[in-house]
Homo-oligomer: A and B are copies of this chain.
Amino acid sequence: MHVLITGGGGFLGVKLARLLAAQGTIRGKAITKLTQADLFAPEPVKAPFPTEGIALDIADRAAVDAAFAAKPDCVFHLAAVVSGQAEAEFDIGMRVNLHGTLNLLEAARHAGNRPIFVFTSSIAVYGGEIPEMIEDWTILNPQTSYGAQKAAGELMVTDYSRKGFIDGRGLRLPTVTVRPGKPNAAASSFMSSIFREPLQGEEANCPVSEDYPIWNSAPRNVVANIAYAAEIPEEDWGQNRCLAIPGQTNTVREMVDAMTRVAGSNAAGRITWKPDPFVQKICAGWRAHINPAKALRLGFRQDSTFEDNIRWFLEDDIRK
């Protein structure tokens, strides 16, 4: 099994690569090669099989075709321009998130080997006038360009699969928190930084009110679910290859209290609470109450307490 990860240098991509290196197989077949692709060639993970990092701009159709000359058997498509940037720089978002995804799907189709194709979508696809509780049959009505581009990608993943071009599956990721590293241009960036920075002894600002609810999942669970998506037999997916994976709903206040329970009270004191209308406007369109019935039926794992998110951050990711 040759595995290709786009966004393979990002934090989820690297964690996924490490997990696959430890796991060694997909659907019981040995992984024979792992390619991490990103805008700049990433440092490949260590594994008991050959690994490589390659530079790939998914918006460049010819480059994508070239990357598929090796006919990867399993593609994890994580590369994306994040929500804040896709909103501020519309053309870049369209080029990477929509046309980049189309380029990958076309290359996967023309490779001719019907690869497994795992696409990471986002809860940013939800919004607008819909019932409070989101079900598997709730309309995707994104209120950001990022969400619209992801939702369009989902439609294509399902259609390319229905046509037999790929064996696709798409996952609407919850907000992934606590992310390691630095704040980024995602409007949801604060959902990690208000924990990460204080736990690392620094200040961070919370731009929304403390009663703002967040549908979230810990990196460990998200990465495990992305890898698991490739394992599920094709016939179990039904007529939509994309779904919301599990998560948990917590208000900012509940999350901060969980941090205090796990790591003491000093961290919470480093959070400032200055409202940011730009971020609030985007966040107001997001949803926090999701019933991931189909994903649970298919065996995806669910978060149980935000204390885990804090604990695992301290174990896996805190800056040493």
Contact partner, A139, options B138, B148, B156, Cβ 8 Å: B138
Q: Which residues of B contact A136 (CB under 8 A)?
A: 129, 139
User: Is B129's CB under 8 angstroms from A141's CB?
Assistant: no
Q: Number of A residues contacting the other chain (C-beta, 8 Å)?
A: 28
Contact residues of A with B, CB < 8 Å? 90, 127-131, 136-143, 145, 148, 151-152, 155-156, 158-159, 162-163, 238-240, 285
Question: What does DSSP make chain A's interface, helix, strand, loop or mixed?
Answer: loop
Q: Which residues of B contact A140 (CB under 8 A)?
A: 139-140, 155
User: Is B145's CB under 8 angstroms from A163's CB?
Assistant: yes
Q: Which residues of B contact A285 (CB under 8 A)?
A: 239
Chain B nearest CB, measured from A215 CB (Å): 17
Q: How many copies does the complex hold?
A: 2
- Cα A131 to Cα B131 in complex, Å, equals 15
- Cα A158 to Cα B138 in complex, Å, equals 17
Identify which of A127, A139, A163, A240 gathers the most chain B CB atoms within 10 Å of its CB: A139
Q: Which residues of B contact A155 (CB under 8 A)?
A: 140, 142, 148, 151-152, 155
Chain B nearest CB, measured from A88 CB (Å): 11
User: Is B145's CB under 8 angstroms from A240's CB?
Assistant: no
User: Is B139's CB under 8 angstroms from A239's CB?
Assistant: no
User: Is A129's CB under 8 angstroms from B159's CB?
Assistant: no
